[in-house]
Structure 1
Amino acid sequence: MILIYLIFFFLVLRFAVTLFNFISNPKLTKSAKKYDDLVSILIPARNEQDDILNLLNSISAQNYPNYEVIVLDDNSTDQTFQLCQDFSDQNKRFKVIAGKPLPEDWLGKNFACYQLAQAAKGRYLIFLDADETVMDGLINNAIHRMKAGNLALLSLFTDQIMKTWGERLVVPLMHYVLLNLLPLRLVKLSSNPSFSAASGQFMMFDAANYRINQWHEQVKHQVVEDVEIMKLVKSSSYTGEALLANGYVYCRMYKSFDESVNGFSKNFFAGFNNNVFGLFFYLLLVVISPIASFFFLSTELVLFALSLIVLSRVMISLSARQNVLQNVLLHPLQLLCMVFISVISVKKHFTKTVIWKGRAIRK
C-alpha cells in the first residue's frame, strides 16, 4: 500500500506540473517591435525530396527583410540537392551546399549543423528540420524573444501535423512527456541544468555566442543533441529558453505508425540518459500506476485519479494545439505505444542497431 500511495502522490505531482505549464502558457508570442538583424536559416537535409520545397516556400513567404537560407545536402541519394539548387536559382537569398563525408566520431545531423554554422553570416542562427513549415512572423518574434531575454539559445517545440491514426497514437507522446514532467518556464528561470529541454526542430542561437562555444561540436556524438546543448548552455552560465511554437512552426515528423515508432525509438531511451532504471520508474509511474489504482484504491480515489489523468490530457492537448477528444480517447493506447517504443529503444541501444536515414547511429 505504501508503494501504491507513493505512485498516487507522483500522479498528483505530475498533474501539478501540467497545471503549471497550462497556466504559465510557455509559448512564443507576437512582438509589435520590428527588427532587421541578419538571420541565417540553416537546414540540414538528407533524402528530403518530398518535404524540402514546402519548407523553402514557406520561408520565402516570410515578411522579414534580412535573412539568408543555407541548405546543406547531407550526402542524399535522392533529388534533394537538385531541387534545392533549382529553387536557389530563382531565389537569391537561398543557397545549397554539399556536405562533407561524415567523420567517424560525429553523428550525421550534428556534423551537418556544424558545417552550416561555419557557412553562416547572420547575427542569429536558426536551425530547422527539412520537414517543417514556418508561418509569417516567426523570425521577428523569435528575435524579440532572444533580445528580451538576452538568450544564447531559444528552442521551440513545433506544432505537430498528424494525418494517420498511426501518427496519432505515437506523435502526441512528445508533448505529453514534456508537459507532464517538466515545468517548461524553469528552463529559463532556473540555472540548474537538470531543468533542460529543447527540440532540434527549432534551435535559434546568438551567432557570436555559438562561434565561441561551437555547441554542435561539443555534442558531436550525442543522439539527443538538442537537450545536451541546452544543458551545456545553462552549465556555462548562459541563458536558454524552451517554448511551444504556438502556430509559428509546424512539422509532420512521420507519415505512418512504423515511421513514428522507428523515429521515436531512435532516441527515446537516450532521453532517459540510457538509464534502464530511470525509464522503468517513469513507465511505472505513468502506465502501471493508473492500472494499479483500480485494484488497490477506493472508488473515490480511483475516480479522483482518473479525473487528474483526463484533465492533464486535456490541458496538454490544448497547450500543444492538438485534438483534445482524440488524445483523451486514445490515451490508453498511446501509453501502450510508449511501452512498446521503450522496449524497442532499449533493445536497439544494447544491440547497437539504431539506423536512421540509412546510417548506423553509433552511441
Structure 2
Amino acid sequence: MVLFYIIFFFLILRFTVTLFNYISNPKLTGSPRQYHDLVSVLIPVRNEEKNIGRLLQSLLDQDYENFEVLILDDGSTDQTAIVCETFAKHDPRITVIPGKPLPANWLGKNYACHQLSGLARGKYLLFLDADETVGAGLINHSVHRIKLLRLSLLSLFTNQVMVTAGERLVVPLMHFILLNLLPLRLVRLSANPAFAAASGQFMLFEASDYHRHQWHEQVKQQVAEDIAIMRLVKAGGLRGEALLANGHISCRMYTGLFEALNGFSKNLLAGFSNSIPGLLIYLMLVMAGPVFIAIYLDLSLLFFALTLIVLSRILSSLSAGQNLALNVLLHPLQMVALLVIAILSIKHHLSRSATWKGRKIAS
C-alpha cells in the first residue's frame, strides 16, 4: 500500500506542477517600447554549415538595430567559416573569430562561450546556438524583460521544430520533463538554487554581472552548464528567470532518431545532478508506476491514473506549442525512448565515453 500511495502522490504532484505551469503561463511577452542598448550576440559554431546561415539571416531581419554578432569557429572541418565570412563581408556588425585550442580542463562549448565573452562590447550578452531561428522582436522583448525585473540572466526554452518521426519520439521529452517537474515561475520567485532551470540555447546576461563572475569559467567542466550557471546566479543573490520562448525563437535540435537519442543522452543524467539513483527512481515512478497500477488496481483507479497522464501531456504540449494529439498518441513510445536515453546516459557517465561533434564531453 505504501508503494501505491507513492505512485499516486507522484502522479498527482506531476499533474499539479504541469497545471500550475499552464495556468501561470511562463512565457516571454512583448515590449511596450523600443530599446537601443548594445547587445552582443555570441554564437559558438562547430560544423554548422547547414544551420548558421539561417540564424544569421534571422538576426539581420531583427527590428533591433544596435547589436553586434560575434561568431567563434571552434575547429570546424566543413564550410561553416566560409558561410559566416560571407555574411560578415556584407554586414559590419558580424565578426568571425577562430577559436583557440581547447585546454585539457574545459568542455568545448563552455570554452567557446568564455572566449566570446572576453571579446564582447555589449551591455548585454546573448548566447545562442547555431541551429536556431529568431523572430523579429526577440532581442527587444528580451532586453525589456531583463530591464523590467532587473535580471542578471534570462534564459528561454525555445520552440522545437520536429520533422521526422524519430524527432517526434524524442524531442518532446525535454518540455514534458521540464513542465512536469518544475514550476517555472519559481526560478525567479524563489531564492532557493534548487529551483534552477535554464537552456543553453538562449542565455541573455547583464554584461557587468557576467564579467564580474565569469560564469562559463566557473562551470568549465559541466555538461549541463546552463543549469549550473542559473544555480550560481541564484546562489549569489542575483536574479535569474527561465521562460518558454512563446514562438519568438525556434530550434531544430536534431535531424533524426539516433542523433536525438545520442544528443539527449549527454544531458539527461546531468539534469538530475548526475544522480543515478535519482534518475532511476524518476523512471520507476513515471514508467513502472502506471504498469503496476494496471496490474494490481481496479479499473476506476487505473482510469484515474491514465486521465492524469493524458491531461499532463495535453497541458504540457499546449504550453510548449507542440502537437498535443501526437504527444498523447506517442506517449508510450516516448517513454520507451526515455528509457533508452537513460540507459545511454548512465552508460556514458560510468564509462566517461560520451562524445559530441567528435569530442569527448564526459567530465
For 1:305, give the aligned amino acid: A
Q: Which residue of 2 aligns with 1:28?
A: 28
Distance, in Å, in 2 between the alignment partners of 1:243 and 1:137 is 16
SS in 2 for 1:121: coil
What TM-score, normalized by structure 1, do the two folds share?
A: 0.99
Q: Equivalences for 1:138-153 in 2 at 5 Å?
A: 138-153=138-153
Of 31-40 and 247-256, the range deviating more from structure 2: 31-40
1:234 is aligned to 2:237:
no
Please give the per-residue CA displacement for 1:134-165, whole angstroms capped at 9, x wherever unaligned.
Answer: 00100010001101111000000000000000
Distance, in Å, in 2 between the alignment partners of 1:30 and 1:324 is 25
Structure 1 gap ranges (5+): none
Q: CA deviation at 1:83?
A: 1.1
Please give the per-residue CA displacement for 1:90-133, whole angstroms capped at 9, x wherever unaligned.
Answer: 11111110000000000000000000001100000000000000
* C-alpha contact 2:355 2:362 (8 A) present in aligned 1: no
Distance, in Å, in 2 between the alignment partners of 1:45 and 1:283 is 34
* C-alpha contact 1:107 1:361 (8 A) present in aligned 2: yes
Give the share of equivalent positions with the same residue, in percent. Answer: 59
Distance, in Å, in 2 between the alignment partners of 1:257 and 1:3 is 34
Q: Which residue of 2 aligns with 1:334?
A: 334
Of 4-13 and 182-191, the range deviating more from structure 2: 4-13
SS in 2 for 1:49: coil
Q: Equivalences for 1:138-287 in 2 at 5 Å?
A: 138-287=138-287
Q: Which residue of 2 aligns with 1:49?
A: 49
* C-alpha contact 2:348 2:362 (8 A) present in aligned 1: no
Distance, in Å, in 2 between the alignment partners of 1:318 and 1:352 is 37
SS in 2 for 1:200: coil
Return structure 1 stretches of 4+ with deviation > 6 angstroms.
Answer: none
Distance, in Å, in 2 between the alignment partners of 1:147 and 1:85 is 33
SS in 2 for 1:126: strand
CA pair 94-341 structure 1, distance change in 2 beyond 3 A: same
Q: Which residue of 2 aligns with 1:310?
A: 310
SS in 2 for 1:269: helix
Of 168-177 and 291-300, the range deviating more from structure 2: 291-300
SS in 2 for 1:71: strand
* C-alpha contact 2:46 2:74 (8 A) present in aligned 1: yes
For 2:228, give the aligned amino acid: E
Q: Which residue of 2 aligns with 1:120?
A: 120
Structure 2 gap ranges (5+): none
Distance, in Å, in 1 between the alignment partners of 2:219 and 2:164 is 34
Distance, in Å, in 2 between the alignment partners of 1:328 and 1:245 is 22
Q: Which residue of 2 aligns with 1:101?
A: 101
Please give the per-residue CA displacement for 1:225-263, whole angstroms capped at 9, x wherever unaligned.
Answer: 000000000000000000000000000000000000010
1:83 is aligned to 2:83:
yes
Q: Which residue of 2 aligns with 1:347?
A: 347
* C-alpha contact 1:18 1:180 (8 A) present in aligned 2: yes
Of 289-298 and 162-171, the range deviating more from structure 2: 289-298
Distance, in Å, in 2 between the alignment partners of 1:167 and 1:4 is 34
1:295 is aligned to 2:295:
yes
Distance, in Å, in 2 between the alignment partners of 1:305 and 1:73 is 49
For 1:2, give the aligned amino acid: V
SS in 1 for 2:330: helix
What TM-score, normalized by structure 2, do the two folds share?
A: 0.99
* Structure 1 vs Structure 2 CA RMSD: 0.7
Distance, in Å, in 1 between the alignment partners of 2:264 and 2:197 is 16
Q: CA deviation at 1:362?
A: 3.5
